[in-house]
Structure 1
Amino acid sequence: METWSKIVMTIVISVLVRWGWKVIDWVWFKPKKLEKWLRNEGYKGNPYKLITGDMKDLATMMKEAKSKPIPITTHDINSYILPFDHHIITKYGEKSFVWFGPHPRVYVRDPELIKEVLSKPNEFQKPPEPLRDSIFGGLLVAEGHKWTKHRRIIDPAFNLQNLKIMFLGIYSSCSDMVQKWELLTAGNESTEMDVWPDINNLSGEVISRTAFGSSYEEGMKIFQINREQINLVFQMLFIIHLPGRRFIPTKANKKFQQNVHELRLALTGIIDKRKKAIEMGEHIRDDLLGILLESNSKEIEENGVGMSMEDVIEECKLFYMAGSETTSNWIVWTMICLSLHQEWQVKAREEILQVFGKGELDFEGLKDLKILTMILYEVIRLYPPAIMYVRTTLKETKLGNMMIPPGVQLALAPIHVHHDPKIWGKDATEFKPERFAEGVVNATNNGKGTNSFLPFGGGPRVCIGQNFAMTEARTAMAKILQRFSFELSPSYKHSPFPVFTLPPQFGAPLIIRNV
């Protein structure tokens, strides 16, 4: 027995020592080794701090920035929405890095290098982020073979023919919102209202109709949970990169985990309901979920394996978040920009009335709205929904003329590229839709607009729903401009503040008039 006890004790001690060494290596030796490599390569940044890195300073600066709006006279929002990144780059130069916990994150600002990173998704992968992954999921976070399979299954949902079918749901939702505004403004010379809640709800209803064939009310619980999750993430900035973060018993953390469970139950109910309808012989394929389930069945027939129930739930979560939050941001910033730049509001309205008059919109006519498209491109350049993409190296990987060791994260910030005067000219932070008059390719100084315009990402993983988003944004703005003119309310506070997307923190109070 004594011999066995010694053997057991030896094994336990060996395991503890090995585990302890891995922890020490993760929190100290590996970061210090990477820091040495970065400095040898000419990168500058703060010295590494055990476990937390720069997270405390980052969270403090974000909290301070969030507490106050910025002057509406400028679209130069970099220092406001990314205050810590701006601080580091100003202090150390463009060739700099920050610490996200024990992980160094290097800024990549050269469009050619960004293109290289995005074109090699297997070499430069998305680092695991439990909070992000539990909110979004699906194609956004899948890697390798899983991503390839999911993309193949989902692709049919976003082809031109299905987009035409889904246009009916988009148009119905936009019409409902405009009718609501017409009732609110009836008989008044002008009406002040915060348009942000209605636009946010609009995108939610569009997704409910086009993705799930249900009313907005049926999906209300999912939207409420998603919005609460985004607010909770900001409350947890101090602990996001701590080991075992999800077990830390803060009030926000507990609520976040509870919401993850409730969200899964709600989506499971919607999917089960649809699967039962299909099993009973109903041929439902005029929405994203129906198309997805049909495509998944075809994948199983042809290749033996498709998506699991958990996979379908993850893709539905992504439909809700990517399909509502990002597009609602795009529409509201368009209304704010057109409130500031009335001459472009007039031009867009004249074009819409020339194409459609005061009548109904149609899918084919949207492509004739050239001025509105220029405006939408300029808005999403200045206010991109995703302000930063992060990739990481799993092995030594070549980028440009460097060999990057495993464990280094790369920060690709569209907001930096979109506001760079070397690329877009001295007026890079000004609202000038005319720069897109000859398309995206010719919008920049260097004639490489496709590499420097990144609102939907790039490479093989470019956003699958970008045409859907553009259709919704065009339809919503065309319906609004047909019926109303608008300007900023004196109570408007300019505060584009990011968590995952870039919403107006203090809403969008506007003065609305019928036209």
Structure 2
Amino acid sequence: MAVAVMEALMIFIASCLCVFLILHLIKFFNKVWWNPIRIQSAMRAQGMRGPPYRFLHGNTKEIYNMRSEIMSSPMELSHQMLARIQPHVYSWIKLYGMNFLSWYGPQAQLVITEPELIKEVLSNKDGAYPKSVIQNYAEKLLGDGLVLSQGKKWLKMRKLANHAFHAESLRGTIPAMIVSVEAMLDRWRQEGVKEIEVFQEFKVLTSEIISRAAFRSSYLEGKNIFDMLTRMALIVGRNNYKVGISGIKIFFKTRDDIESEKLDRGIRDCMLKVIKRREEVMMGTEPDGFGSDFLGLLLKAYHENDETKKISIYWKIENCKHTEVH
């Protein structure tokens, strides 16, 4: 009797597992095959063409191959940069028109290049065009700051940013900008080299000016943060057109997964140190308590008693990170 009960239980469990797997397979194929084909057919019926959907990867392999080919060739001296920077967009505009449908994995993307339609989307008065959901490495790089936030959160961050980066507010940073430029020129004179890697030098200069304008800190103080953000951006770049299977990272992590998680923790730790240092130094030394730069405004909002104006420590870190990225 007991053996029969156990056999029945095992059959029941096996049946449940089979049903579970079948349901997940149906869901998986609906996402990566049936739904894209349905969307593609519906858009074509409305006259919206584009490169055909390819199973799992969409058009990402085509985009990657086009970009690899164009980047492997010498750059021409021309102001027509679209063909080099976005060769797939340049090519598909010629084939399918100013607006076309493309695919990032099973996710449909409507590419619009007509100025009037772009203006309508960007104005978004009725809130009909939500921001894209960014996942994976780009989410770690950009965080939940001004670029990715929406609704009331976006309005709150936008007001803070507008105040911090208004022309009147930035005017006070001109002396610091002059100091940064003079320091760079002095370094060039002292080194006495005939050739200068201008890209790297201006990258350092821009980073220092942004750091001073937003956080009143020197480039050297934020160098570690900038370096980690640069390494994170490289990870985003080399994985931008790679489409993975959802959920697989729970069981298997790539080298980039491990490195990006380590960098994300490192960036947050460094940001917290900068924030705590400002709190300790600035508290009670200025009328507004924390300063009038972007970091000061974020700290003021974090310590705000009014819940409608208050922001969390997470928002504070994400917006600091977002400012340094840009």
Tell me the residue number matched to 1:173. 180
Q: TM-score, normalised by structure 2?
A: 0.85
Q: Which residue of 2 aligns with 1:98?
A: 102
Structure 2 distance, partners of 1:50, 1:249, is 23
Instruction: Return closer, same or farther for 1:315/1:94 CA change in 2, 3 Å cut-off.
Output: same
Q: Which stretch has the larger CA shift, 236-245 or 264-273?
A: 236-245
Distance 1:275 1:240 in 2: 42
After superposition, residues 486-505 of structure 1 pair within 5 angstroms as none
Q: Which residue of 1 aligns with 2:146?
A: 139
Aligned ranges 1:259-408 → 2 under 5 Å = 259-279=263-283, 283-297=289-303, 300-303=304-307, 306-322=310-326
Structure 1 residue matching 2:102: 3-state secondary structure: strand
Distance verdict in 2 for CA 1:244–1:90, change over 3 Å: farther
Contact kept, 8 Å, 2:290 with 2:296, in 1: the verdict is yes
**Residue of structure 2 in register with 1:350 after alignment:** none
Task: List gaps (5 residues or longer) in structure 1.
Answer: 323-515
Q: Which secondary structure does the structure 1 equivalent of 2:155 belong to?
A: helix
Mapped contact 2:301–2:311 kept (Cα < 8 A): no
Q: Is 1:67 equivalent to 2:72 in the alignment? A: yes
Give CA-to-partner distance per residue, 1:457-509, whole Å, 9 cap, x none: xxxxxxxxxxxxxxxxxxxxxxxxxxxxxxxxxxxxxxxxxxxxxxxxxxxxx
Which amino acid in the other structure matches residue 168 of structure 1? P
2:233 aligned to which of 218, 230, 234: 230
Q: What's 1:346 paired with?
A: none
TM-fit CA distance, 1:64: 2.1
Distance 1:80 1:245 in 2: 34
- The answer for the alignment partner of 1:196 in structure 2 is 199
Q: Which amino acid aligns with 2:215?
A: F
Q: Which residue, 27, 30, 35 being the options, matches 1:22?
A: 27
Deviation at 1:161, TM superposition (A): 3.2
Q: Give the 3-state SS of the residue equivalent to 2:195 in structure 1.
A: strand
Aligned to 1:117: 121
- In structure 2, the residue matched to 1:218 is 221
Pairs aligned (count) = 315
Gaps of 5+ in 2: none
- Secondary structure (helix, strand or coil) at the match of 1:104 reads strand
- Provide, for residues 292-320 of structure 1, a one-character-per-residue CA deviation record: whole Å limited to 9, x for no partner: 212443xx323356211111110011110
Instruction: Kindly indicate whether the alpha-carbon contact (under 8 Å) linking 1:166 and 1:286 is maintained by their aligned counterparts in 2.
Output: no
- Residue 86 of structure 2 corresponds to residue 79 of structure 1: no
Aligned position for 1:450? none
1:153–1:296 CA contact under 8 A, matched in 2: no
Task: Indicate the larger mover: 174-183 or 56-65.
Answer: 174-183
The CA deviation at 1:118 is 0.9
Structure 2 CA distance for partners of 1:160 and 1:47, relative to 1, 3 Å: closer
SS of residue in 1 equivalent to 2:188: helix
CA 1:302–1:21 in structure 2 vs 1: closer, same or farther (change >3 Å)?
A: same
CA RMSD, Structure 1 to Structure 2 (Å): 2.8
Distance 1:60 1:227 in 2: 24
Letter in 2 for 1:164: R
| Greater percentage in helix | 2
Q: Which has the higher contact order (CA 8 A, sep 6+)?
A: 1
Q: Is the 8 A contact 1:88 1:98 kept in 2?
A: no
Which residue is 2:155 aligned to? 148
- Supply the AA of the counterpart residue of 1:32: I
Q: Give the drift of 1:177.
A: 1.7
What letter matches 1:142 in structure 2?
S
Q: 1:100 touches 1:241 (CA, 8 Å); kept in 2?
A: no
Any idea what the Cα deviations from partners look like across 1:250-308, whole Å, max 9, x if unmatched? 323332222122111111211122223345656441432112212443xx323356211
Identify the residue that residue 330 of structure 1 maps to in structure 2: none
2:93 pairs with 85, 89, 96, which one? Answer: 89
The percentage of counterpart residues that share the same residue type is: 26
CA contact (8 A) 1:154 1:295 kept: no
Query: How far is the alpha carbon of 1:238 from its aligned partner?
Result: 4.4
SS in 2 for 1:303: coil
TM-score (norm 1): 0.56
2:176 maps to a residue whose letter is: G
Which residue of the partner structure matches residue 49 of structure 1? 54
AA at the equivalent of 2:297: I
User: Equivalent residue of 2:172, what SS?
Assistant: helix
Change (3 A) 1:156 1:244: same
Change (3 A) 1:291 1:95: closer
Check conservation: 1:150, 1:307, Cα contact below 8 A. no
Question: How many angstroms does 1:173 deviate by?
Answer: 1.5
